[in-house]
Amino acid sequence: MKKNAIGKSGIEASVIGMGAWAIGGGVWWGDNNDEESIRAIHTALDKGIDWIDTAPAYNLGHSEEVVGKALQGHRQNVVLSTKCGLQWRDSNGSFHKRIEGKDFYRDLSAPGIRKDLEGSLQRLRTDYIDVYYVHWQSIEPALTPISETMEELAKLKAEGKIRAIGASNVDLFQLREYVRCGQLDAVQEKYSMLDRRLENELIPFCEANEISVQAYSPLEQGVLTGKITVESKLRAGDIRNGKKWWAPENRPLLGEMFEGWDDLEKKYGCPVGNLIIAWTTRRAKNMNVLCGARKVEHVLENVKAGEIELDAVDYERMTRDADTLIARVESLSVNS
């Protein structure tokens, strides 16, 4: 599988990454089979997906625990990323939200970051993290300046506990401040064919400053796989309930677009979800596309996307069709 550089860190990773949010299970994702998740991770590594991303907040550390178990004996072959700044051990920081029955706080103080890292290293059964992201940005009333956060992250890097610094869920002002205060190598943000806000400011800034972009939710949490119909039901409490592109009135419009790509599915010998992931990998220099998976079959589908080279005419056609769909849905929303 093709690999891309991660910023200026000297680290390279597969263009497709494996997201481990759903592996955590819990209220948002429901019951999960940990042993099956471990098999999925091993399959990803066997097939060339070597960037695994997780976070402490994914079901109170359970995702990290599963990833840590899976990586025993494989750690040297993996680019591992996790996150800091979102904690439930105490009330330090600013309240974020209640998750899994716990109050979470955004704490990007130096002691908070170090405690987060210690917990992650233990759960992940490793002594270093390749890419360490700030999960959510600091807010009032406990606002920690980015300069202080970066100072502590630089110390952890100098100590060999992390190899590269990343930030997630940032705006352009915050991104500029990170770059002013040190070396930022990766930004992880929501990005999909149907949600391209990053293209206005963040992606151009990242490309100009040699920062890699890692896109999460490239398939809009599954609705862009082409497998979801109007009749598809979500369980109560599923995080996808209420999402724009999961709305019953929008699913038929997605279906129409997918039907128009039947010839592309035949041409490239893959399902529509693979086409969309392949399209996404081309939207920025050194773009990594983070694909969630907790079953072997999900991984095997994602792997195919990393091997597809879309012809320019097909890439441009998909872009136009997506633009038309977005405009159509926005028009219906305004007129409803």
**Which amino acid belongs to residue 165?**
I
Query: Residues 314, 319, 324, 326: is their CA dihedral positive or negative?
Result: positive
HEC assignment per residue over 175-206: HHHHHHHCCCCEEEEECECCECHHHCCHHHHH
The span from the CA of 132 to the CA of 167, in Å, is: 8
State yes or no: is 191 an active-site residue.
no
The span from the CA of 206 to the CA of 198, in Å, is: 10
Q: Are strands 16-19 and 287-292 parallel, antiparallel or unpaired?
A: parallel
Q: How far apart are the first and last CA of the chain?
A: 45
**Cis check: omega of the bond before 145, within 30 degrees of 0:** no
39 closest CA partner among 304, 298, 271: 298
The residue annotated as part of the active site, out of 58, 132, 191, 268, is 58
| Contact by Cβ (8 Å): 130, 11 | yes
Question: Which of helix, strand or coil describes residue 100?
Answer: coil
Active site residues: 58
